[in-house]
Structure 1
Amino acid sequence: MLTGSTSPWPQGYRSAAVITIDFNDIYGILSQAPTVEGRDKTLSVWRYGTLRGVDRLLNLLAKKQVKTTWCLPAIVAQEQPLLLERILAAGHEVACAGDQHEDFSAMSLEEQVACVRRATEKLTALCGRAPRGFRTPAGQWKPGFAQALSGMGFQWSSCWRGDDLPYFHPGTSLVELPLHYELEDEPYFAFNLSPAVPPGQSRIASYQETLANMTQDFYGYHRFGLCYLLRLHPEIMGTAGRISLLEALIDTLQQQPVWLTTAQSVAEHWRSSQPANTPDHPAEVFQRLWAQHHG
């Protein structure tokens, strides 16, 4: 077993694991395909998470005594106060995913910042405390947005890829907890006929093969002492069949010396134990090259 002297994680843990859940209700598909507004049959595919999936996830997490991070647009928190109350009462973290699950690629930096300020005010009023984490609802954020998030009091984001350990956005104290497509449920299972999700169709993978993939990835992350971060959705992983897939995966994690915790806990630990990126970290190298190119 690795210890704190040879691992970036707290004493006794070889790796870290974080389960994040994107609870978007219908607003995720509305930002992706605005033409489905008013098409209740289509929207019911995404409402399933609100009607059934959230309950199944909360019940399983309570059974396994696991604390997770839920990423919500403010509008979902407003429209689903009873589910929000259950999430908070169970001790889970609530992070900000925009105001109405906006497409950030269509917004200026000023609009992005204003959106997050609105969402933060609403989530703070609803949750009784300000969110400390952020996930981009859709699209790309603009240069300078990480600095704005840090200035608003956010401590972490989980939006970018390209690494498997946390790191700081250069020039800020904002910790990034990287994502990977193979650790998300959407690439395996998200499906709808019209509008076509995915556009080329032919998805809904084997449950056992998906579990095998995610388990094998965990063993790799654990072997190298990394941060294994899942990104799940109530309407996808909260079905009657797939919930057992998640249960089996949690069982595997809990059989190993892995720190299974919230995104906020990982960010706090990283800020206290790793106060800065090393100068040769790719994020720092990219920032220097970007600054040289853009004057």
Structure 2
Amino acid sequence: MSAPASSKGFTWPNGARIAVAVTCLMENWSGDKGPPFSVQTTSLKPGTHDRAAMTWGWYGSERGVWRLLKILNHNQVPATFVANAYAMERAPAAVDCMLKTGHEIAAHSYTQDALMAYLSPEEERAIIEKCAGVFRKMTGAPPKGWLSPVLAPTAHTEELIAEAGFLWYGDYNHIDLPFCVKTKKGTLVALPHSDFADHRVLRGNPRDWFDVYKDTFDYLYANEPTSFLNITLHCHFGGRPLMAAQLDRILKYIRGHADAWLVRHDELAEWIKANDIAEWTNQQRFFGT
């Protein structure tokens, strides 16, 4: 594994030109709730129980996760499943398969509607501890990574995650490369996430999702050595055949590039932390000065 090349930046292990992480979000909502979005264009009257939305959301942990696991394993691509703890409880066999086939499972609150932005610091700490307890019970270890539902943290979340002993944290919307963040409660690795998850083509052509990731990969590969790309999709939509087919296509395309580093979030974060990678300035990254 290569170390940082200089104080101006670093090089990925083994001379890779680009690091690619695959994020599969496995989400479930509480009670009889479901996603606030779907392929349907007709909204129900306010206050009406939306059974269609509820069951559409169930698909992820009951069906979609298995198709994604099959595609990832067939292409020999390690991924990070970012999972609500409740979704894990609903799908213990899938959790077992993730672990046995070499994937990471990261924390994503307890349910998808348990948003950190609505909680007090005490409530945030309690839900983080609740999720860690589910992980210990189901996986034998606490999670290494945390991504808040809808990437909606509070001003306290980062330090609470560090305090809880996490390795990486993903609620950052202003970065495009991973680096170490020093907090009062310890060091975290900041991991950027995607602006174009599968929901962007919810009522469009799934090939647009493939085109966006292929074009982005090609640009970064050609123009920005030591770049990073996070490919993101949801088990309840991306796990359906119309979207899963595009995941299979993009993985096969990227696998055709020998110097692309396909890596789990935790493995990437461990490398970043071991090499104490700091945030690049714009001048360092784009002008080499």
Global fold match (TM > 0.5):
yes
Q: Which moved more, 1:269-278 or 1:20-29?
A: 20-29
SS at match of 1:241: helix
Please name the residue that 1:144 is paired with: 156
Which of 263, 268, 272 is the matching residue for 1:270?
272
Which of 89, 95, 102 is the matching residue for 2:100?
89
Residue 22 (str. 1) matches residue 25 (str. 2): yes
Which of 91, 106, 111 is the matching residue for 1:100?
111
SS at match of 1:130: coil
Please name the residue that 1:212 is paired with: 211
Residue 181 (str. 1) matches residue 195 (str. 2): yes
Q: What is the one-letter code of the residue matched to 2:106? A: A
Please name the residue that 2:67 is paired with: 56
- The alignment's TM-score, normalised by the length of structure 2, stands at 0.82
SS at match of 1:71: strand
SS at match of 1:18: strand
Alpha-carbon distance in structure 2 between the residues aligned to 1:270 and 1:139: 22
Deviation at residue 156 of structure 1 after TM alignment: 0.4
Deviation at residue 245 of structure 1 after TM alignment: 0.8
Please name the residue that 2:244 is paired with: 243
Alpha-carbon distance in structure 2 between the residues aligned to 1:273 and 1:67: 22
Alpha-carbon distance in structure 1 between the residues aligned to 2:267 and 2:235: 23
Deviation at residue 9 of structure 1 after TM alignment: 1.0
Please name the residue that 1:68 is paired with: 79
- Aligned partners of 1:19 and 1:69 also within 8 Å: yes
- Aligned partners of 1:112 and 1:141 also within 8 Å: no
Alpha-carbon distance in structure 2 between the residues aligned to 1:49 and 1:140: 21
Deviation at residue 169 of structure 1 after TM alignment: 3.1
Q: Which runs of 4+ in 1 moved over 6 A?
A: none
Alpha-carbon distance in structure 1 between the residues aligned to 2:51 and 2:243: 24
Q: Which deviations, in whole Å up to 9, do the C-alpha atoms of 1:149-204 show, x marking residues without a partner?
A: 1121101012222221012334341111112312x111222xxxxxxxxxxxxxx2
- Aligned partners of 1:3 and 1:14 also within 8 Å: no
Q: Which runs of 5+ in 2 are unaligned?
A: 37-45, 284-289
Q: What is the one-letter code of the residue matched to 1:269? A: W
Q: What is the one-letter code of the residue matched to 2:234? A: H
Deviation at residue 105 of structure 1 after TM alignment: 1.5
Alpha-carbon distance in structure 1 between the residues aligned to 2:208 and 2:35: 28
- The alignment's TM-score, normalised by the length of structure 1, stands at 0.81
Deviation at residue 38 of structure 1 after TM alignment: 5.7
- Aligned partners of 2:178 and 2:279 also within 8 Å: no
Which of 115, 127, 135 is the matching residue for 2:147?
135
SS at match of 1:174: strand
Deviation at residue 148 of structure 1 after TM alignment: 2.0
In structure 2, relative to structure 1, the CA distance for the partners of 1:228 and 1:131 (3 Å cut) is same
In terms of fraction of residues, the more helix-rich structure is 1
In structure 2, relative to structure 1, the CA distance for the partners of 1:243 and 1:138 (3 Å cut) is closer
SS at match of 1:131: coil
Paired residues, number: 264
- Aligned partners of 1:29 and 1:46 also within 8 Å: no
In structure 2, relative to structure 1, the CA distance for the partners of 1:15 and 1:23 (3 Å cut) is same
Q: Which deviations, in whole Å up to 9, do the C-alpha atoms of 1:64-107 show, x marking residues without a partner?
A: 11110011111111122112111211111010111223111111
Residue 162 (str. 1) matches residue 183 (str. 2): no
Alpha-carbon distance in structure 1 between the residues aligned to 2:48 and 2:93: 24
Q: Which deviations, in whole Å up to 9, do the C-alpha atoms of 1:216-243 show, x marking residues without a partner?
A: 0111232312110022111211112222
Q: What is the one-letter code of the residue matched to 1:177? A: L
Q: What is the one-letter code of the residue matched to 2:195? A: Y
